[in-house]
Amino acid sequence: MSSNSQQQTESPTSDTRSSTPADDEQAVRAVFDAVSRAWADNDADLFTQWYTDEATAILPGYHLPSRIDIHASMEAAFAGPLEGSRRIHTVQKVRFLNADTAIVISRSGTRFQGEAEPAAERWALATWVLARHAGRWLIEAYHDCPAG
């Protein structure tokens, strides 16, 4: 476990009984900020704390069927090809299916050290499903494809 993982992190939370749609959208968007910070720190532990145990991630050529698999993949990537990179997420739309489930569309890209912006081929369009668990928004599913 990295030293960053041992730090207490602030979790965006929202109480279903008293939250407003604006509060919920802000809390959902905060997940993307937290995941991006964990990526920038190359910290697979912090990165995957935002995923449920049964979360899935589908990327071109990859299906990661659980948080354990997502963690193993990110740990290897952060120690290798993604070391020192940053992930940029531009949320395009947040749509709530109900008080505890959101679908988010983002345009996301990976920027490597020395780059001002991600290369065109590293931009993706992504669909995320987030659900509220004990007041905390977590990622249930992620799917991306090249932005083209």
Q: Which residue shows structure tokens 């720190």?
A: 41
Cα 10 from Cα 108, distance rounded (Å): 23
Q: What is the pTM of this model?
A: 0.87
What single-letter amino acid sits at 25? E
Chain segment 71-127, per-residue pLDDT in tens = 999 999 999 999 999 999 999 999 999 999 999 999 999 999 999 999 999 999 999
Q: What integer pLDDT is reported at residue 138 of this predicted model?
A: 98
Chain segment 5-22, per-residue pLDDT in tens = 434 344 444 444 468 999
Cα 20 from Cα 87, distance rounded (Å): 29
| 84 Ramachandran zone, left/alpha/beta (phi>0; psi -120 to 50) | left
